[in-house]
């Protein structure tokens, strides 16, 4: 789970200097969540840049500051990059005020990535909640673009309400893909909702994908992750068959500023992708 391209791209010069990026498209996912399609202003860098699913970057609005988000697009689709964010603080509010054509700063990719070599030939169970689908969809498209390398695919995704479902265009695409078992759920539906209701961990238990030759990849709010792991264990998944990404407050993204340190782990440097087996071995339960 190492980022092979980690130092190659950024070793050239000052690691804290952002690249200037241009926003090419904005998609309103939910009332508070937006996806930005963006690209390097310097066209030379578009070909040089590479990343892996699960990696993150530091995004900035000049004059406001930097914030950390994963790259939510797939490395198999190189036309542009995407990131998805919820409007919660100073930087995310400033990002939400930007329009197409605006410039932002970007540095990355940082961190490790989803273990594609471990996933190949396996049955994959993707479990996502809310905006937690952002890192997961990078991997899902990555897998679907190389469909023959993987076995059965389950995607179980949920949000609080129908209005909180992110990436509805992806949910439709995956739902229409005959090689994917797609289940969408909401905690509570509304009058027009005809789909499933129930929390993600409960729905996972009902769908009950087999643990045999399988890997579960879980991304979502911490509370969902905490309730999902026990369900997976009940279904026969061992901790090393469960993969997730951890989210911590970060500033530098490169293991120096200190704040994502839990036990002897720096989430930015050693993660953000961990197996549940690794997480269980952490000295600290502050994850």
Partner 1 sequence: MNHKKINKKDLGNLLHQWSKDYTIFVPSNEGDTAQMGLWDGSDTGFLDWYRNTAKPPKANFLPPVEEMFRFQKGKEGHSIKLPSQEHQQLIFGIRPCDGRSLAILDNIFTDAYQDPYYLPRREGAVLVGLGCLKPYDTCFCTSLGISPGESNDVDLMLTDTGDEFLIEEISDKGKQLMELTAGLEDATEDDTARASEAKGKAHDKVTRKIDTQHLSHKLLSTFEDETYWEKVAAKCIACGICTFLCPTCHCFDISDEMVKKEGARFRCWDSCAFPLYTKMPMENPREEKWQRVRQKVCHKFEFYPMAFDVIACTGCGRCIRLCPVNWDICQTLGQLPG
For the bound state, the minimum distance from the C-beta of residue 18 to partner 1, rounded and expressed in Å, comes to 7
Residue closer to partner 1, measured from CB, 236 or 263: 263
Strand-pair category, 153-159 with 180-186: parallel
Determine, following the binding rule CB under 8 A, whether residue 248 of this chain makes contact with partner 1. Answer: yes
* Number of residues binding to partner 1, judged by CB under 8 A: 46
H helix intervals, the chain: 6-10, 43-48, 90-96, 116-119, 133-144, 168-175, 200-207, 222-234, 267-270, 276-280
From 133-141, 157-165, 178-186, 251-259, give the range in contact with partner 1 by CB under 8 A. Answer: 251-259
Q: Minimal distance in Å, beta carbon 120 to partner 1? A: 27
Provide the 3-class DSSP secondary structure of residue 56. strand
Least distance CB 236 / partner 1 (angstroms): 29
Q: Taking the CA of residue 246 as centre, how many other CA atoms within 13 Å lie in the half-sphere pointing to its CB?
A: 27
Q: Are 108 and 57 in contact (CB under 8 A)?
A: yes
Residue recorded with tokens 């509010």 = 93
Interaction between residue 247 and partner 1 (CB under 8 A): yes
- Site residues for partner 1, 41-100, by CB under 8 A, read 41, 60-66, 86, 88-89
Residue 195 to residues 130, 171, 186, 189, 227, Cα–Cα distance (Å):
16, 12, 8, 8, 22
How many degrees, rounded to 5, is the angle at CA 129 between CA 75 and CA 131? 60
Q: How far is the CB of 272 from partner 1 (least distance, A)?
A: 13
- Helices then strands, each counted (H, E), the chain: 10, 15
Which one of residues 71, 252, 273, 279 is an interface residue with partner 1 (CB under 8 A)?
252
* CB closer to partner 1 out of 20 and 27: 20
**Residue found by looking up tokens 């369900």 in the block:** 231
* Residue 108 to residues 9, 31, 112, 151, 243, Cα–Cα distance (Å): 9, 28, 11, 31, 22
Given 121, 230, 236, 258, the residue binding partner 1 (CB under 8 A): 258
Query: Of these, 139, 171, 254, 279, which contacts partner 1 (CB under 8 A)?
Result: 254
For strands 242-245 and 273-275, give the pairing.
antiparallel
One character per residue 98-117, x = contact with partner 1 (rule: CB under 8 A): -----x-x------------
Work out the burial of residue 125: count CB atoms within 10 Å of its CB; fewer than 13 is exposed, 13-18 middle, 19 or more buried: buried
Q: Is 189 in the site for partner 1 (CB under 8 A)?
A: no
Cβ at position 56, least distance to partner 1 in Å: 14
Q: Provide, rounded to whole angstroms, the least separation between the CB of residue 23 and partner 1.
A: 12
- Can you tell me which of 5, 20, 50, 173 binds partner 1, judged by CB under 8 A? 20
Nearer residue to partner 1 within complex by CB, 188 or 249: 249
Point out which residues bind partner 1 (CB under 8 A): 6-7, 10, 13-18, 20, 41, 60-66, 86, 88-89, 103, 105, 221-222, 247-249, 251-252, 254-259, 261-264, 269, 283-287
């Amino acid at each position: 789970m190492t980022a092979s391209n980690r130092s190659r791209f950024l070793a050239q010069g000052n690691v804290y200097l952002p690249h200037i990026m241009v926003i090419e498209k904005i998609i309103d996912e939910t009332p508070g969540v937006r996806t930005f399609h963006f690209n390097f202003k310097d066209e030379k860098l578009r070909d040089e840049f590479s990343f892996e699913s699960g990696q993150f970057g530091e995004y900035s609005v000049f004059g406001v500051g930097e914030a950390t988000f994963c790259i939510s697009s797939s490395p198999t689709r190189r036309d542009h990059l995407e990131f998805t964010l919820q409007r919660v603080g100073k930087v995310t509010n400033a990002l939400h005020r930007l329009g197409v054509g605006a410039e932002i700063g970007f540095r990355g990719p940082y961190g490790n990535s989803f273990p594609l070599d471990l996933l190949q030939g396996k049955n994959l169970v993707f479990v996502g909640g809310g905006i937690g689908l952002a890192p997961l969809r990078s991997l899902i498209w990555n897998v679907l673009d190389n469909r023959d390398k993987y076995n059965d695919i389950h995607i179980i995704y949920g949000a609080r309400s129908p209005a909180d479902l992110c990436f509805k265009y992806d949910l439709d695409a995956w739902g229409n893909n005959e090689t994917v078992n797609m289940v969408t759920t909401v905690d509570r539906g509304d009058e027009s909702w005809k789909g499933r209701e129930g929390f993600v961990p409960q729905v996972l238990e009902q769908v009950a994908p087999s643990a045999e030759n399988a890997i579960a990849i879980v991304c979502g709010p911490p509370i969902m992750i905490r309730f999902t792991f026990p369900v997976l264990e009940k279904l026969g998944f061992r901790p090393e068959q469960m993969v997730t990404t951890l989210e911590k407050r970060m500033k530098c993204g490169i293991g120096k500023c200190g704040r994502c340190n839990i036990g002897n782990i720096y989430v930015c440097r050693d993660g953000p992708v961990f197996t549940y087996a690794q997480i269980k071995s952490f000295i600290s339960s502050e994850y």
